[in-house]
Amino acid sequence: MSKRVLSGIQPTSDSFHLGNYLGAVKQWVALQADHDAFYCIVDLHALTVETDPKLMRQRTLASAAQLLALGLTPDKCTLFVQSQVPQHNQLGWIMECLAGFGEASRMTQFKDKSQKSGADRTVVGLFTYPMLQAADILLYQAHYVPVGEDQRQHIELTRDLAGRFNNRYGQTFQVPDAYIMKEGAKIQDLQEPSAKMSKSSGSGAGVIELMDAPEINIKKIKSAVTDTGREVKFDEKEKAGISNLLTIHSQLSGTLISDLEQRFEGKGYGDFKGEVAEVVVDYFAPIRKRALELLEDESALLKLLAEGAEKARAVASETISQTYKNLGLVQ
């Protein structure tokens, strides 16, 4: 039987960004070919920041449309919305009762985000978020979890929790492996190449949104922050901005970074940025068009997601039954 894959993405923005695609979704598309793949729009996770109900609905549908336009196909994978599968909350609680307070306190994403907004504006759900994420993964007995570098710690925690449960209560969960690429797993902000590209970044000037008009993205790439040198060379320490652009080009065009370095020898940063802009825009133009078309037929999207949720519930409810049984909960 083919190995199981699970991953998730938050519907927190009108558009995914280039980091989401290169770090995660590109691998989702590749893995669906020869794996039993489950992909989840994690709307419950998105509730950890204050949300507008109208936007939540719109962004959940926009997420589904983008994932399909980027290459997920319902006959090869199961695409669903987290809140339509209540077993996620059921297992989430069990994971919370398994995780230590200290262990959860060490999650760097929680520390960063809670520090930014301050204790009074940080909800408890942000603290328990990684345990819900562990439940997302373990419910499906996933072997692999394709994610970007920033999720590594959460997958480590998931592995620890799975192992702990199995030791205490008998074999119940597959212990999953993070599936993180060597290149593309950490795409940096174009304006601040020392920080990762992120939906929550300040101005958004360094974030390439896949659903933005080409002119906007061309402008953002042409004004990407680089260094004072002239050489198009991969060197993450000294040339973080150029290295990031090389990675982006290489990942989308399929050209080796060393070949790009050679091709741009003796040419300025301007020429190089111009070509990166062209590669990005050409790659995403048809995807954007397709996503907008898909969004026009809301009922088709809803139907597809309902079918996905049904398939997901079938798997998830089996895991919950076994988990409850192993815990001695009377059913």
Catalytic residue at 113?
yes
- The interface with ligand TYM within residues 292-311 (CB under 6 A) comprises none
- Taking the C-alpha atoms of residue 23 and residue 40, their distance in angstroms, rounded to an integer, is 16
Q: Which stretch binds ligand TYM (CB under 6 A): 22-30, 52-60, 215-223, 271-279?
A: 22-30
The whole-angstrom separation of Cα 118 and Cα 123 is: 10
Helix 152-169 / helix 108-117 crossing angle, nearest 10 deg: 120
Q: Please say if 199 is a catalytic residue.
A: yes
Measured at CB, which residue is nearest to ligand TYM? 23
The strand pairing partners of 235, in sequence order, are 239
Q: Pattern of binders to ligand TYM over 169-188, x per CB under 6 A?
A: ----------------xxx-
If the CB atoms of residues 44 and 301 are measured against ligand TYM, the closer one turns out to be: 44
What SS3 state is found at 39? strand
Binding mask 85-104 for ligand TYM (x = CB under 6 A): --------------------
| Cα–Cα separations (whole angstroms), residue 238 to 68, 172, 194, 233, 269 | 38, 47, 11, 10, 15
Could you tell me the two tokens for 7?
């991953």
Nearer to ligand TYM (CB atom), residue 148 or residue 264: 148
Residue 222 is a catalytic residue:
no
Cα 116 to Cα 85, 120, 193, distances in angstroms: 31, 11, 20
Q: Which of 62/264 has CB closer to ligand TYM?
A: 62
Strands 144-146 and 77-81: unpaired
The encoded tokens of residue 111 equal 């520390």
Who contacts 277 (Cβ-Cβ below 8 Å, separation ≥6)? Answer: 217, 218, 221, 222
Interface of this chain with ligand TYM, residues 103 to 162, rule: CB under 6 A: 133, 136-137, 145, 147-148, 150-151, 154
Least distance in angstroms from the C-beta of 145 to ligand TYM: 5
Using CB under 6 A as the binding rule, whether residue 251 contacts ligand TYM is answered as no
Task: Enumerate binding residues for ligand TYM (CB under 6 A).
Answer: 6-10, 19-20, 22-24, 42, 45, 133, 136-137, 145, 147-148, 150-151, 154, 185-187, 196-198
Active site residues: 113, 196, 199
